[in-house]
Amino acid sequence: MGERVANRYAECFYKSLGQEIVGHSKLIDKEIETCNTLLKCLSSEAPYADLVNAPTSEALLRRLLKTRLCNT
């Protein structure tokens, strides 16, 4: 998973917001609410099925995005 999933998540997340990925961006609650859009995006990707179906997927995805943005 790691970096590849984090990159995919950040890409889908910001694409759903109609924004460019900007390094060191901070998440706000309103942005995190778009997690549902992301989950729908990832649900069509077979390798990510387990991630999307996990009970803690939202928390995990939040952490992955924060990690991705802090490492850019």
Per-residue pLDDT tens for 25-48?
A: 555 555 555 665 666 665 555 455
How many beta carbons lie within 10 A of that of residue 72, not counting itself?
A: 11
Task: Write down the pTM of the prediction.
Answer: 0.28
Inter-CA distances, 10 with 32, 40, Å: 12, 14
**C-alpha distances in angstroms, 49 versus 5, 8, 34, 46, 54?**
12, 14, 18, 5, 9
Average pLDDT over residues 2-25: 59
Number of H helices, E strands in the chain: 5, 0
- Residue 21 pLDDT: 47
